[in-house]
Structure 1
Amino acid sequence: MLVISAKSGQLGNRLLLFANFIAFAIENNVTVINPAFDEYADFFISTSQDFLCCYPPTPFSITGNQLLRKYYYNINRYLAESRRFNTINIKRNEPFNWSNSNITKDIKLGSINFFQGWMFRDGWFVDDISNLKKHQEKIRAYFQPLNKYQLNVAKLISNIRSRTDIIIGVHIRHGDYQQHQNGKYFYLIEEYLKVMESAQTLFPNQKVTFLICSNQKQNEDCLQHLSYINGNNHIIEDMYSLAECDYIIGPPSSYSMWASFYGERPLYMIRDVNKTLEIEDFVHFYQWQGVFHYNEDWSKSVWEWKH
């Protein structure tokens, strides 16, 4: 049994981490439970009905609540740090993936194995993409949002599609990105506008509507010359609405990466706001490649995407 006993990042990172563990569990016929998914478990059909957050799902599950989930996570953290069981720490000095890591040799079959550390962050899993692709249907099925969220997403997307040809989802990441890596990927609304205008020129004979999803309210005065609609301003509905767009634009972020994976939609990660876009700049999840640049100051370590 594999137990994810430490939290890494927010929703997008946690989903990608969990998905990678599920793919590994399927390949190796083992069970994974994820107490560290507690804040997000109630958003999804499978995990909302199982406070263990277990894969494969158990025949008899117990519905959790926030208090129970928090208690369950704390117990697992205590057990992992107590060293009473096999605890595997993933260090931050290099990307971790199953395919080229010696960590798998430390797993004790038939025992409980706790995993701690920052794993699969923002694309550290590129060498494991083949397994994600192989088991994509099972992973997507496991991470279906609750029906109420699915209905809200379907209503929003249907409304947009009824009056446009192309939907481009735009993830405007403000808030925490002002500090993240010293604001390296914090772009002003005017800079997002440049990218959006460039993207619009790729479809000269079609009507393009932008679906804007952001973690902060935007000044929309500069967007008035574009056709756009705001998302529902809900962490799950916005993510899964992006997954229903024809194309996705956003800064380097696991949030939009999950949307790209789940919806099988091409994604353009903004690294140069002045770049003139080409259609080939939108890349499907399984086409991503990258190089990790390590820095002793962890906040300055960079994952450089290539495609």
Structure 2
Amino acid sequence: MLVISAKSGQLGNRLLLSANFMAFASENNFTVINPAFEEYADFFSSTYQDFLCCYPSRPFSIAGNKWLRKYYYNINRYLAESGRFNTINIKRDYPFSWSNSTSITQELKSQSINFFQGWMFRDGWFIDDISNLQKHGEKIRAYFQPLKKYQLNVEKLISNIRSQADVIIGVHIRHGDYQQHQNGRFFYLVEDYLKVMESAQMLFSNKKVTFLICSNQRQNDDFFQHLSYIYGNNHIIEDMYSLAECDYIIGPPSSYSMWASFYGERPLYMIRDVNKMLEIEDFVHFYQWQGVFHYNEDWSKSFWEWTH
């Protein structure tokens, strides 16, 4: 049994982390318990009725609530740090990969509980394990289907846009926390996003392009008046899964838009140069990502440089 006993990042990171554990478990006949998914469990059909957040899903489970999930997470944190069980700590000084971490996999005890803590699979850190994500992608996507009410809201939004557009390009404008994240390395002004959007629109000169704008901060309508656009529903799940339904996705390096690309199997352009004139080949499917990791002794300054 593999237990994710420590939280890493926000929604996108937790989903990618969970997906990598699920793919590894499928390959090696393990069960995954994910108490660290507690804040987001109530959004998804498979975890809504299971406070353990177990994969594979069990035929019988106990529904959770916020109090129960938090209590269970705290218990697992205590057990992981108690020294009574096999606890595997993933260091932050290099990208973690199941395929390249022989020492980690050798620590696993197949007939025991294995607690995991540490920052894993953040953004590009899972890049060596993409083949397993692809192999088990259908099961992972089925597990992380949102509740029906969120699906219906997404369907309504996308249907409305498709009735008026030939091409939908989702744009993830990440402001708020990105102004401080890695000293603002990936914080782009609205004017910068506009350059990229206008360049993308030129790729479809003979078609009606509508942009679906999703952001963690309210945007000024005046910037977008010369474009055909619509805002997302301003809901953490509905925006992510609406991006997954677009034909193309644009965003800064972020696990949020990367999950949308994975879930919807849609090509993503991860912004690295706001002045670049886009080509259609710049939109890359999730399984085609390539990158180089730049290590820094100050882990917060380590980053992935996406090369494709």
Q: What is the CA distance between 1:59 and its match in structure 2?
A: 1.8
* 2:162 counterpart of 1:161: yes
* 2:109 counterpart of 1:114: no
Instruction: Provide the residue aligned with 1:272 in structure 2.
Output: 273
Instruction: Provide the residue aligned with 1:100 in structure 2.
Output: 100
Specify every segment of 5 or more residues in structure 2 that has no aligned partner in the other structure, as ranges.
none
Matches within 5 A, 1:1-307: 1-102=1-102, 103-307=104-308
Q: What is the CA distance between 1:109 and its match in structure 2?
A: 1.0
Q: What is the CA distance between 1:305 and its match in structure 2?
A: 1.1
Distance 1:302 1:45 in 2: 33
The C-alpha deviation readout for 1:166-200, integer Å capped at 9, x for no partner, is 00000000000000000111111111001000000
Amino acid at match of 2:184: G
The C-alpha deviation readout for 1:21-54, integer Å capped at 9, x for no partner, is 0001110111010000000000000000100000
The C-alpha deviation readout for 1:62-112, integer Å capped at 9, x for no partner, is 000000000000000000001100000000010001001020000011000
- Which SS does the other structure have where 2:39 is aligned? coil
Q: What is the CA distance between 1:58 and its match in structure 2?
A: 1.5
- Which SS does the other structure have where 1:59 is aligned? coil
Q: What is the CA distance between 1:260 and its match in structure 2?
A: 0.2
Matched-pair identity in %? 85
The C-alpha deviation readout for 1:220-245, integer Å capped at 9, x for no partner, is 20210000000000000000000000
The C-alpha deviation readout for 1:94-143, integer Å capped at 9, x for no partner, is 00010010200000110000000000000111111000000111000000
Distance 1:263 1:86 in 2: 36
Amino acid at match of 1:88: I
Q: Tell me the matched-pair count.
A: 307
Q: What is the CA distance between 1:291 and its match in structure 2?
A: 1.2
Distance 1:287 1:209 in 2: 26
Give structure 1 regions of 4+ aligned residues with deviation exceeding 6 angstroms.
none
Give the TM-score normalised by structure 2: 0.99
Distance 1:183 1:248 in 2: 21
Give the TM-score normalised by structure 1: 0.99
Distance 1:16 1:275 in 2: 28
- Which SS does the other structure have where 1:259 is aligned? helix
Q: What is the CA distance between 1:289 and its match in structure 2?
A: 1.0
CA RMSD of aligned residues (A): 0.5
Specify every segment of 5 or more residues in structure 1 that has no aligned partner in the other structure, as ranges.
none
Distance 1:177 1:62 in 2: 37
